[in-house]
Amino acid sequence: MRVLLTGRRGQVGSELERAIEGVVATDRASLELSDLEAIRRKVREMKPEAIVNAAAYNAVDKAESERALALRINGEAPGVLAEEAKRLGALLVHYSTDYVFDGAKRSPYVEDDSPRPLSVYGESKLAGERAIQASGCRALILRTSWVYGPRATNFYRLIRGKADANQPMQMVDDQTSVPTTAAFLAQFTMELLKRKAEGLLHLVPSGAATRYEFAREVVRRTGSRSNVEPVKSDRFPSPARRPAYSVLSNARAAQLLARPLPDWQTALSTMT
């Protein structure tokens, strides 16, 4: 199968490149997603049977001042990929986020819950979802949360660096979601594709944690002497609002895979 992968240098893209046999993988140097015509040219030149879009504008705070760029990359570009997929009869796999929700709910969000993003980033990711759905192409849209891995800058690497140096840290205890490794996403994306899954799914490990709880677990597993202090989000003012609760239910994905998904602590064990 001819597969076009975007975002090969990102956390999820790098894992997918290793997992997909014979994939043609692109990065910003070879395919800039803000250039919509370049996207059309690349897809029409390659004629893939599947497109996996692991690229995105992920600078949550910076998006508040770069709204047009965030919407172009996260909203318009997936729409163009979807239009081209529809023309070819190809499947489009796309990643979205828990930040499409406002955090007002206090039980895990399911796929049928109404989105209400608080930030430009969340708004742009929701725009991408809707553009794909409006195209009528075959698509698998995977919402996930708090993605981390050994590559790029992420909250796991920040915590691990401090833990390894036995440095104290402050972590917020009023934001709750599901920490998700890039390797987990790649593994279960491939399993869902083997089962020919389509539609909108939440793909995260089981369970939930605050950033404080996650940091405590990293410190415990590494044997670090770091002290982790719980603080409120207002200790770290930021341009973008983040949902206080954005736990995603993975029940629908688990049903399709015919087994429960591992919890976030099990996923973390592959990192520590």
The yes-or-no answer on residue 109 being catalytic is: no
Q: How far is CA 127 from CA 16, 86, 115, 204, in A?
A: 24, 18, 11, 21
Q: Which two tokens stand for residue 59?
A: 């600078």
pLDDT for 130: 98
pLDDT at 22 (0 to 100)? 83
The pLDDT, as a whole number, for residue 262 is 97
Q: Over the range 5-31, which residues count as b (16 or more CB within 10 Å of their CB) and which as e?
A: bbbbbbbbbbbbbebbeebebbbeeeb
In angstroms, rounded to a whole number, what is the distance separating the alpha carbons of residues 231 and 123? 27
Domain residue spans in the chain?
Answer: 3-152+179-207+248-262
Indicate the class that CATH gives domain 3-152+179-207+248-262: alpha beta
User: What is the rounded distance in angstroms from the CA atom of residue 152 to the CA atom of residue 129?
Assistant: 24
Which pLDDT tens digits describe the chain residue by residue (272 residues)?
899 999 999 999 999 999 998 899 999 999 999 999 999 999 999 999 999 999 999 999 999 999 999 999 999 999 999 999 999 999 999 999 999 999 999 999 999 999 999 999 999 999 999 999 999 999 999 999 999 998 778 999 999 999 999 999 999 999 999 999 999 999 999 999 999 999 999 999 999 999 999 999 999 999 999 999 999 999 999 999 999 999 999 999 999 999 999 999 999 998 86
Task: Give the 3-state secondary structure percentages of the chain, helix then strand then coil, rounded to 5.
Answer: 40, 20, 40
Burial class (CB within 10 angstroms; exposed 0-12, middle 13-18, buried 19+) of 194: exposed
Residue of 57, 99, 121, 245 marked catalytic: 121
Rounded CA-CA distance 111/250 in Å is: 9
